[in-house]
Amino acid sequence: MSFRKIALDSLKLNAAKDKAEAQASLEILLNHPAGIGDHSTDDLHKNLNEALSRLADAEDRLETLKRNFGV
């Protein structure tokens, strides 16, 4: 296996992991409020925005890999 393939696979797996983590965070924050605990409204909005940004970033990375490297 070439270094290129290993590196591209690693990038793809890392982006997929980040996407899954962000989706899990959004699922918990949006659909399971008991999992939020004693967060203030400001904390909740901050956490929602952070999770959404991580999701968008991961999806962008996956699309970039697909578009530019066929991964």
Whole-number pLDDT of residue 56? 98
Counting residues of the chain whose pLDDT is more than 90, the rounded percentage is 77
User: Which residue range forms the structural domain that includes residue 21?
Assistant: 3-69
Whole-number pLDDT of residue 37? 63
DSSP-derived 3-state class of residue 39: coil
Tell me the pTM: 0.88
Query: Residue 67's pLDDT band (boundaries 50, 70, 90)?
Result: very high
Say whether pLDDT at 36 is over 80: no
Number of domains in the chain: 1
Whole-number pLDDT of residue 63? 98
CA dist., res. 57 & res. 41, Å (int)? 24
